[in-house]
Structure 1
Amino acid sequence: MSVIDAAPDNAVPDNAAPAGTAPDYAVLDYTVLDNPAWSALTGAHAHLAEGNDLARRYPADVSPFAAVRSWDDPGVWDAVIELVGYDAEFPGPPESVALPPGWVRGEPFQGVQLVETERLHGRPDDEAVLLGAADVPEMLDLVARAQPGPFLPRTYQLGRYVGIRRDGRLAAMAGERLQPAGWTEISAVATDERYRGQGLATRLVLDVVHHIHERGARAMMHAAASNTHAIGLYEKLGFAVRQRVAFGSVRTPARPASAPVSG
């Protein structure tokens, strides 16, 4: 599962205004970020979730993210098969978790999880426009060219997405993806190659941060561990790396001859 998010495309401004609602960093709950997709799928995005009490996922045209409550529950393996079927992929458990017979582990993708610090100050942007269903073709086109990470026809339903237009085109965009309890993930940060170097993505990231803070939530994001340039720019904005994350996958076993065929 790819979670490569693009970096802001210009230097960090020195005059970012303080957010309207400052989180209390002494009492932040970081534990939900150890399983952010599950927290989102059982909380803010429960209305989008498919699955059961042990395994859930987003619809295929919304997001590739899926999660389990705990890999320690002995029923989780059957719950995953019930959700995705046989010979299907699902986000995998840590390397320390042994797979049952017939399950195959994929090659993990190394990433990092970043969280906001007290240095991160959002600010609304007068040029930022809300993006919705009518903008999906442009959003998909920009993502296909900028490749900030997975973005699907209904991904915009996960949260607030904004963009800046230039010459009638969508020049840059950014928005909200996972929403674990108390947090919101910034994602789909992308700039058209014709408009890079103008600071548009940075401005949109700060606009998204401002509105996250207005709701009383905190900002976080994911990036490829190899994308040190992006990580460095996000750190200048006021994010800090919380942990390294291995985004792996598993393939469920082939269908047994005795298993019923659904549908």
Structure 2
Amino acid sequence: MSATSIEATSSHLLDNPAWAALTGPHASFAERVGRAARYRQDVAPFYAVTDTGDPRAWADLATLVGPGGTASVRGVTEAPAGWEVLRTGHGVQLVDTRLRAEPDPEAVRLGPDDVPEILDLVARTQPGPYLPRTVEMGTYLGIRHSGRLIALAGERLHPPGWTEISAVCTDPAYRGRGLATRLVRAVAAGIKERGERPFLHARATNADAIRLYESLGFTLRRRTVFSLVRPTGAVALEETA
């Protein structure tokens, strides 16, 4: 499928995947106020609104965030009245167009008992945010060496019909052995078995990761931006009245 047809058929979901997930397959993880929603705070740090151009959505988000709180929101570079942008990061979204997915005989399913090891590996490799209950968002697979977790990948955002592959990381001492590739293919195999389609995000500055994903059969769908925002006080409170 070409990038043009991907855009035409899925923009309503993948342009706002956190909202689609929180109001769909991941509704059990959601905390919602009207037109704003977020994952429970021990699951994932993502917030979403129905439309970043809708003042009513920002008013609902201010209620959800609360005084002094912050929210990580997709697609915002300039905050509306009553909000400020604290920092911004740029990324890319890629979708599977020709990925060869296959199970891996060494990949093991990870669960709550593995969370301390997962958090340790994530802290050392920095693939992106991972919280104590992130493991519940989908299937997470790992590869062990002498009983030690050395590589990880799993499922995160889950809009209807799509599943994001995330937390792809390898212990620095074991890089260059193709472990990340094997785990991406294995996680994708489970996604495709359900009749869904894999997608993922990467930092725009992480050229090595982007090249790897493109070599595996992912296609750049769009560039995106994530911003950490905070209500500034009086104006935001007026909007929530």
Q: For the residues of structure 1 that align with 2:78 and 2:174, how far apart are their CA atoms?
A: 45
User: Normalising by the residue count of structure 2, what TM-score does the alignment of the two structures yield?
Assistant: 0.90
Find the counterpart in structure 1 of residue 93 from structure 2: 113
Matches within 5 A, 1:222-241: 222-241=201-220
Distance of aligned partners of 1:195 and 1:94 in 2 relative to their CA distance in 1, 3 Å threshold:
closer
Distance of aligned partners of 1:70 and 1:89 in 2 relative to their CA distance in 1, 3 Å threshold:
same
Aligned to 1:78, which of 26, 40, 59? 59
Q: Is the 8 A contact 1:87 1:255 kept in 2?
A: no
SS class of match (2:123): helix
Write the letter of the residue equivalent to 1:53. G
After TM superposition, give the deviation of residue 254 of structure 1 in Å.
2.7
Q: Is the 8 A contact 1:191 1:201 kept in 2?
A: yes
Distance of aligned partners of 1:177 and 1:255 in 2 relative to their CA distance in 1, 3 Å threshold:
same
Q: Is the 8 A contact 2:19 2:48 kept in 1?
A: yes
Q: Is the 8 A contact 2:74 2:225 kept in 1?
A: no
Find the counterpart in structure 2 of residue 13 from structure 1: none
After TM superposition, give the deviation of residue 246 of structure 1 in Å.
1.0
Aligned to 1:54, which of 8, 27, 35? 35
Which of structure 1's runs of 4+ aligned residues deviate more than 6 A? 24-27
Find the counterpart in structure 1 of residue 228 from structure 2: 249
After TM superposition, give the deviation of residue 52 of structure 1 in Å.
2.3
Distance of aligned partners of 1:96 and 1:159 in 2 relative to their CA distance in 1, 3 Å threshold:
closer
After TM superposition, give the deviation of residue 30 of structure 1 in Å.
3.7
- Percent identical pairs in the alignment equals 53
Aligned to 1:171, which of 150, 160, 166? 150
SS class of match (1:175): strand
Matches within 5 A, 1:138-217: 138-217=117-196
Structure number with higher strand proportion:
2
After TM superposition, give the deviation of residue 71 of structure 1 in Å.
2.4
Q: For the residues of structure 1 that align with 2:36 and 2:79, how far apart are their CA atoms?
A: 18
Structure number with higher helix proportion:
2
Q: Is the 8 A contact 1:171 1:195 kept in 2?
A: yes
Structure number with greater CO (CA < 8 Å, separation at least 6) is 1
After TM superposition, give the deviation of residue 201 of structure 1 in Å.
1.4
Find the counterpart in structure 2 of residue 63 from structure 1: 44
Matches within 5 A, 1:2-81: 28-81=9-62
User: Normalising by the residue count of structure 1, what TM-score does the alignment of the two structures yield?
Assistant: 0.83
Q: Is the 8 A contact 1:115 1:221 kept in 2?
A: yes
Q: For the residues of structure 1 that align with 2:77 and 2:147, how far apart are their CA atoms?
A: 51
SS class of match (2:27): coil
Unaligned runs of 5+ in 1: 1-23
After TM superposition, give the deviation of residue 107 of structure 1 in Å.
2.9
Query: Over aligned residues, Cα RMSD in angstroms?
Result: 2.2
Q: For the residues of structure 2 that align with 1:165 and 1:193, how far apart are their CA atoms?
A: 14
Write the letter of the residue equivalent to 2:27. A
Q: Is the 8 A contact 2:95 2:199 kept in 1?
A: yes
Find the counterpart in structure 2 of residue 16 from structure 1: none
Write the letter of the residue equivalent to 2:145. R
Greater Cα offset, 174-183 or 63-72: 63-72
